[in-house]
Structure 1
Amino acid sequence: MAKIVAITACPTGIAHTFMAQEALLQAGKKNNVEVRVETQGASGSEDTLTAAEIALADAVIIAADKKVELDRFVGKRLLQTSVSAAIKEPETLLAQALDAPVYGDATQAYMDDIAAQKAAKNQGTPAVYRHLMNGVSSMLPLVIAGGIYIALSTAIDINGKASLAVAFDNIGGGSAFKLFVPILAAFIAQSIGDRAAFASGLVGGWIGTQGLMYNAGPNASAGYLGGIIAGFLAGYVTVGIRKWIRVPRTFEGIKTVLITPVLSVGIVGLLMIYVLGHPIAALMSAISNGLTHIGASGSIGLGLLLGLMMAFDMGGPFNKVAYFFAVGLLGTHTVESEMIMAAVMGAGMVPPLAMALSTFIAKHKYTQEERDAGKAAIILGACFITEGAIPFATKDPLRVIPSIMVGSAVTGALAMLFRVTNPAPHGGVFVFPLIGHWYLFILAILIGVVVAGLLVTTLKRPIAQAA
């Protein structure tokens, strides 16, 4: 019996990670392959692979949308791919892994990074997206915790003068929200250039968010866009410095801890201050001002677009762009930014709830396994975990994905039309008490769920006729 070990890891570490784990385990049972999976989720690594298990394995699968350390797999056949690939085609991955090239053998040790990037490009997540998601996964706890404390501050005292309200605002807006962009930049940089790039990413992100750019106004901020650019800049500048500056082997330690970080911090810092920071801040200001003056018809269109994006790939790149567009604007503390956050959260809750509804009203169109997944989807949808719809979309994408996109678009548009506000970037039903016009928010979600649920139920065929 072949033995395969695997690691699954997605940016948020909530849903994709464990869906991929389950898919690989089930595929192993079906194909008489012994599979052990380590998950690197939101709470850290679980079911960690032992050295003995790795040594006995015939191959390794890394199904991850963020950076995973590969040092312990040197000398093993290794396949790098995405989490979604593990969910959609686990049996194919098992076969491919057994024929994958050996990672980091004696003749290729110096090419490890290049080999990993090629594998990601050819078989899984593009390297740029993987670097971005490494930053996103690291900043997400700050975004969620900070946003909820800002919302609690407002709920306690809308004028923000009470002592506890001020304390919560300092925790959320004064600390967590000021740190999340630098952390985003730092971990993007680290994903590209390893630990030596962390400092320059952190400094570049901080300069952008604090308005430290040359000739910038008092409230200028490059925001999350500046953080992303600073992170990639820091990572590739560090890689370039390592490549271009050669020192005797005895000085490699000094190069790593002194020469490389000092040069990369200086280069990135100066570029952010004198070249990049100001135009990025101007762009962010223009976006914010444009949203402030957007009309009713425009806001409905924006809500519709964000809803489509949230449902299109359920946690993938389009979903993440829409979500972090909303989160990035939330720091401006405007009514319009909170309306956008409400539209995004509501739209993201629709897909799993709609699929749960469909499994209840059309049981003859779903297997027992899918009906069980529908029950779990209620909890996932209520918690704003859009990935709860993935098992259904994977099995029947042409009917499921268009249906949930329509429902999410309806909810996004209605949330904007109703001028629902949401100061918290995550939480689902747990932050409903903090939402402005919460009853209209629930109405918008229910309408979207019914529209998507009825549409997918109409399009789906009974199990015996499914094709």
Structure 2
Amino acid sequence: MKFVAVTACPTGIAHTYMAAEALEQAAKDAGDEISVETQGSAGSNALSAAEIAAADAVVFAADVGVSGRERFAGKPVVDATVKQAINDAAGLVEQARGKAGTEPSTSDDADEPAHESGPELATKVAAGTGAGTRLRQWLMTGVSYVIPFVAAGGLLIALSFALGGFQVTEAPDVTEQFDPMTVASWAALANQIGSAAFEFLVPVLAGFIAFAMADRPAIAPGFVGGAAAVTVGAGFLGGLVAGLLAGAVVAALRRIKVPRAVAGIMPVVVLPLVGSLVTGALMLVAIGKPIAVAMDGLTNWLNGLTGAHAALLGLVLGAMIAFDVGGPVNKVAYTFAVGGLTTGSDTALEIMAAVMAAGMVPPLALALAATVRRSLFSAAERDSSRTAWLLGASFITEGAIPFAAVDPLRVIPSIVAGSAVTGALSMTFGATLRAPHGGLFVLPLVGQPLLYGLAILVGVAVSAVAVVAAKHATRRDSTVDEKREAPAAAVAA
């Protein structure tokens, strides 16, 4: 049979392409054909109209909205998460075979008003999923658009501190004073550009959460709500609320039946206008201030964490990072750390450092284990260990997926232990980091780099030893059982 598929994860880095590869291999093993569109950070290799028309069924393996979902109207659809595609691609292919030719698409895209057709930035989250799943996908869509701003801004700010020291924040505006012959001026330029990128974080988050909920007409209200959240000091949490509020307002307005003559201007004038007015007003005069108070309380609490309390927070965040190897729990911890960067507090920088260090541990630990005790790992796992070194060093936790997918009961507890230890040690050492990504490649930008590296090494050692011990113990038990069964089998023979 012929299938098409679309894979998309919040960051669009690793899960997206791992899921595509798993689906392609599963279809090949089953004797089927599949063409996969990966909607990742590198862009989308769009499926052709001919490929879609020839497909017997469609597989959506996505944790965010699928771009151009309406292209697949009328085709039987299998909806799944990226993690399901990575762990059980064969099962999804089998579901697609079962649905092929028997079940029409349940997408509601055909019901969209004619005036909303046209090119999409992405698409709203598919209807028909559970409320919890839809909420997570809305939030993850917003986060996926924020990450490039965070990466660009954070790395530029970190670079500025490396070039000009912490006093670079006191440099004059480069539009008034800039000397291309001095390092200090270039440091100030990088700092001010990075700071400008950071100013977009909350509006972009709110705008694209709203977009995921109610499509393009909700972008402007979302951005306005996010800007209002910044104005009242509601921060990252205010951006989340503003995005959900804007999306809900515009979605409600779209349900109002209007004369055909007015329908044409609804998405470009009426919905953005009314949505922006309602969202902005509520954020400025009603909702924003209580959220700002809550954010102040959270910031003060974080700044007050010291000693055992800081270590405990690092331990919890480290465990969350490794728990589902780049899945929703991992993204919650990462989003919490990234959100703290907007406050600029020392504790927030320590949290970012702890989260990144913990995220590097799983791939590095498994690569080490597979290298040291090759006999305990399959040939495929040993092959995966070669890329896991680079993925781990780059803070791509998903590099551990090939190991966790085939042996979750032994691998996941082992990597959770190591990441938790690393997170706790990093917080205890007071290591700081302004860059939200980069792994070991931004080590020169880390505060307390030697202790930070030590925290990573200890966590890697803990996880590697744990997974080797677990695999060795299990193999020994199975060997003992085989030896016990052998005499009985001989007697029976």
When the two structures are superposed, what TM-score results if normalisation uses the length of structure 1?
Answer: 0.92
User: Secondary structure in 1 aligned to 2:199?
Assistant: helix
Distance of 1:455 and 1:108 partners within structure 2: 49
Q: Hey, what does 1:171 align to over in structure 2? A: 193
Q: Work out whether residues 139 and 184 of structure 1, in 8 Å CA contact, stay in contact via their aligned partners in 2.
A: yes
Q: Work out whether residues 65 and 125 of structure 2, in 8 Å CA contact, stay in contact via their aligned partners in 1.
A: no
Q: Work out whether residues 125 and 213 of structure 2, in 8 Å CA contact, stay in contact via their aligned partners in 1.
A: no
Distance of 1:28 and 1:369 partners within structure 2: 18
Distance of 1:314 and 1:114 partners within structure 2: 26
Deviation at 1:181, TM superposition (A): 1.4
Distance of 1:331 and 1:37 partners within structure 2: 37
Residue 232 (1) aligns with residue 253 (2): no
- Give the aligned length: 450
Structure with max Cα Rg: 2
Candidates 244, 260, 263, aligned match of 2:271: 260
Q: Hey, what does 2:105 align to over in structure 1? A: 103
Distance of 1:104 and 1:249 partners within structure 2: 27
RMSD: 2.1
1:205-234 C-alpha deviation (Å, 9 max, x unpaired): 1111233xxxxxxxxx21111111111111
Residue 150 (1) aligns with residue 130 (2): no
User: Secondary structure in 2 aligned to 1:38?
Assistant: strand
User: Secondary structure in 1 aligned to 2:265?
Assistant: helix
Q: Hey, what does 1:61 align to over in structure 2? A: 59
1:177-192 aligned at under 5 Å gives the runs 177-192=198-213
Distance of 2:263 and 2:212 partners within structure 1: 21
Distance of 2:265 and 2:124 partners within structure 1: 24
Q: Hey, what does 2:352 align to over in structure 1? A: 341
| Residue identity matched to 2:150 | V
Residue 129 (1) aligns with residue 140 (2): no
Q: Hey, what does 1:33 align to over in structure 2? A: 32
Distance of 1:303 and 1:359 partners within structure 2: 27
Structure 1 gaps of 5+ residues are 212-220
Structure 2 gaps of 5+ residues are 114-122, 172-183, 482-493
| Residue identity matched to 1:454 | V
1:402-421 aligned at under 5 Å gives the runs 402-421=413-432
When the two structures are superposed, what TM-score results if normalisation uses the length of structure 2?
Answer: 0.88
| Residue identity matched to 2:12 | G
Residue 138 (1) aligns with residue 140 (2): no
1:388-433 C-alpha deviation (Å, 9 max, x unpaired): 1111111111111111011001000111111111111110011111
1:202-213 aligned at under 5 Å gives the runs 202-211=223-232
Q: Work out whether residues 9 and 64 of structure 1, in 8 Å CA contact, stay in contact via their aligned partners in 2.
A: yes
Q: Work out whether residues 208 and 226 of structure 1, in 8 Å CA contact, stay in contact via their aligned partners in 2.
A: yes
User: Secondary structure in 2 aligned to 1:117?
Assistant: coil
Q: Work out whether residues 77 and 99 of structure 1, in 8 Å CA contact, stay in contact via their aligned partners in 2.
A: no
CA spacing shift, 1:300–1:114, aligned 2, 3 Å: closer
Q: Work out whether residues 104 and 111 of structure 1, in 8 Å CA contact, stay in contact via their aligned partners in 2.
A: no
Q: Hey, what does 2:120 align to over in structure 1? A: none
Distance of 2:477 and 2:268 partners within structure 1: 64
Residue 295 (1) aligns with residue 296 (2): no
User: Secondary structure in 2 aligned to 1:126?
Assistant: helix
Deviation at 1:364, TM superposition (A): 1.2
Residue 116 (1) aligns with residue 126 (2): yes
Distance of 1:362 and 1:451 partners within structure 2: 15
Candidates 324, 332, 350, aligned match of 1:321: 332
1:123-171 C-alpha deviation (Å, 9 max, x unpaired): xx81111111111111100001100111111111121133222211211
Deviation at 1:440, TM superposition (A): 0.9
